[in-house]
Amino acid sequence: MLRAREVVAGYDRGRAVLDRVDVVVPPGAVRGLAGPSGCGKSTLARVLALLQRPWSGTVELDGRPVRGARYSVPAELRTAVGIVFQQPRPAVDPRMTLRQVVSEPLRARGIRRPWRRVGELAELTGLNDELLDRMPHEVSDGQLQRACLARAVAPRPRYLICDEMTGMLDASTTAALVRVVGELVNEEGTGVLAISHDEPLLLAWAGDDVIRW
Amino acid sequence: MVELDSHDTTAGEHRSWRSAARVRAGTARGTGGAARARLRLGAAVSVLALLVLAALLVPTLSSAPGTVDYQAVRLSPGPEHPFGTDTSGRDLFVRSLAGLRVSLLVAVVSTAVSALLGTAVGAVSGSLGGWADRLLMRVVDAVNAVPHLLLGIVIVALYQGTVLAVVLSIGLTHWATVARVVRSEVLGLRNRPYVDAAVSSGAGRWWVLRKHLLPAIVPQAALSAVLLVPHAVFHETALSFLGLGLPPHLASIGNILSDGREGVLLGAWWIVAFPAALLVATTLSVSGIAAVWRDRVVPTRRSELAL
């Protein structure tokens, strides 16, 4: 399981956004996290995704504490936790096609032509060949978020953090992406932390397993 | 207050977006400005193209620029010699253009050296951060603290009389500005969400630098390099004028001006005036192109940041 233990974290010295937070994400299940804006949900997401070093406390991955954050964490551990952000547009490099975006995690790990896996990912997230060859500014927010989800699951992470993943999307795309994440949970045993301020959505997504801040 | 032109829908979204970005960037430019910028760009490009073409073709097609003729010393400009002749009787029209060719070549090569070195230092500094960043930035401060010409003279003195020495003396003193620009760009980019996403999916520093940071800073780095070209031309000229630069037999604008000093005292103003005019025209046209380019690049970048 993915666990934040006694995590204290923030941005400006002396003003912690997270104060001794404990959160557990079990494998093969969806855990919801609800709370108003500014309560530290995204900071927790960044800490759990190993993108931000907590001031104190630890992140434990399958029982072992992870030291450091970002580049100082070994790539195998970083790829074990995937993350999807709320806003898809700043989350993709404007100079890359969607195919390059989706395949980046694989190419960055030295797989030269991961096109079969990219095909699987596209099918999973509902993208087609024609869309994959477009630039980010040529697709909608919903299509871009599908690509972001495909990118996040490309290295087969054991845990997936969806930080307001559906916040910018219409109802049908939201339903489609929630269904995709559900398939991953059931078929690959991925542990998911679903973060949102939309409680009804979380209740539908995570059942009763919702933490309220 | 900035006056925004009212675009109808067919006027092209591109341009209205651009002027809107400019308003946000605080540059006071309306439609008149855009037309003037186009005119300025056209003028600068055609002047530069004419000069480069002349510098390439004229010395090649006519008699050797070094031909000395003591029967024709210090002839004033006339149909035979449009720019007159110098104190050794050499035709100044041909010699000035040959000099411009050498000066431009040295400037472009040394600018390329500066741009590569500056981009490398700036990118490494910005993306590594920490002590490496502090160390590199102190080196940049040190290079900037010494007057460029003085440092250039020291480098030239070590390897006197070769073209390479002049190239290095300009190249090694001007990378610091490029490094600063590139570093600040990288600092602004390295915590973007798409970089976070790459890091989260296992990408290393080198990958992020190569695939995300460098492609994004190319326009800025290229712009600051082009802005260096006129500066480098002046430095080459200054070094040669001081007698430290290119070997005397090689025609360069600096050598010609240096040779022309005695001529001026004898009343031959044309020996200095025409080569100097070529130098000024070249640098003005290059910096004119760079200025228009900057106006285009910088607002684009700002609108991208506002996403």
> What's the pLDDT tens digit per position in B196-249?
999 999 999 999 999 999 988 888 888 888 888 888 888 888 888 888 888 877
List, in order, residues 6 or more apart from B118 with CB less than 8 Å away.
B174, B175, B176, B177, B178, B179, B181, B182, B221, B224, B225
Kindly tell me if the per-residue pLDDT of B190 is higher than 50. Answer: yes
Interchain contact B193–A (C-beta under 8 A): yes
Interface test mutation site (partner B, options A48, A61, A70, max chain B beta carbons within 10 A)? A70
Res B300: pLDDT: 52
Per-residue pLDDT tens for A124-137?
999 999 999 999 99
Domain chopping of chain A, boundaries: 2-92+153-212
Q: Which chain B residues have a beta carbon less than 8 Å from that of A51? A: 196, 199-200
| Ranges in chain A, pLDDT < 50 | none
Rounded to whole angstroms, the Cα distance separating A142 from A174 reads: 8
Residues of A in contact with B197 (CB under 8 A): 83, 85, 91-92, 148, 151-152
Contact list, B132 vs chain A (CB under 8 Å):
none
Say whether residue B130 is in contact with chain A using an 8 A CB cutoff: no
Mean pLDDT of B50-63: 86
Round the average pLDDT of chain B to a whole number and report it: 81
A91–B contact, CB cutoff 8 A: yes
pLDDT at B297: 66
Residue B302 pLDDT greater than 80, yes or no: no
CATH homologous superfamily of B103-252+300-304: MetI-like (1.10.3720.10)
CA distance B194 to chain A (A): 4
Residues of chain B with pLDDT > 70: what percent?
Answer: 84
Instruction: Report CB contact under 8 Å: B202, A78.
Output: yes
Strands (E), B123-246: none
- B231 has a chain A CB within 8 A of its CB: no
- Residue indicated by tokens 């790990």: A109
User: Distance (Å) from the C-alpha of residue B288 to the closest C-alpha of chain A?
Assistant: 28
Which one has a higher pLDDT value, A59 or B259? Answer: A59
CATH of A2-92+153-212, one of 3.30.420.10, 3.40.50.2300, 1.20.140.10, 3.40.50.300: 3.40.50.300
Q: Looking at A169-178, B62-71, B79-88, B130-139, which range is the least confident one?
A: B62-71
pLDDT at residue A204, rounded to an integer: 85
Token pair, residue B216, equals 């994004």
Decide if A141 contacts A174 (C-beta within 8 A): no
Partner residue facing B201 (CB), from A71, A90, A105: A105
- pLDDT for A173 equals 93
Do the chains contact at A90 and B198, CB–CB below 8 Å? no
Could you state, in order of their start, the residue ranges of all structural domains in chain B? 103-252+300-304
Q: How far is CA A123 from CA A129, A131, A150, A168, in A?
A: 9, 12, 9, 22
Q: Which residues are A32's β-sheet partners?
A: A194, A210
- The two tokens of residue B203 are 């990408």
B81-126: pLDDT as tens digits: 888 888 888 888 988 998 899 889 999 999 999 999 999 999 999 9
B92-128 helix and B214-241 helix, angle to the nearest 10 degrees: 140
Q: What are phi and psi of B180, to 5 degrees?
A: -60, -45
Nearest CA in chain B to A71: B204
Angle between helix axes B270-305 and B214-241 (nearest 10 degrees) is: 160
Asked if A98 contacts A132 with a C-beta cutoff of 8 angstroms, the reply is yes
Pairing of strands A81-84, A30-34: unpaired
Inter-residue contact A156 to A122 (CB < 8 Å): no
d(CA A163, CA A152) in angstroms, rounded, equals: 12
Element (H, E) at B183: helix B163-189
The string of pLDDT tens digits covering residues A18-38 is: 999 999 999 999 999 998 888
**Yes or no, beta carbons of B197 and A108 under 8 Å apart:** no
Residues 6+ apart with CB under 8 A from A55: A8, A9, A10, A16
**CA neighbor of B174 nearest in space, from B151, B157, B199:** B151
What pLDDT, on a 0 to 100 scale, did the predictor assign at position B296? 73
**pLDDT score at B14:** 43
Kind and range of the H or E run holding A159: strand A159-163
Chain B touched by A148 (CB under 8 Å): yes
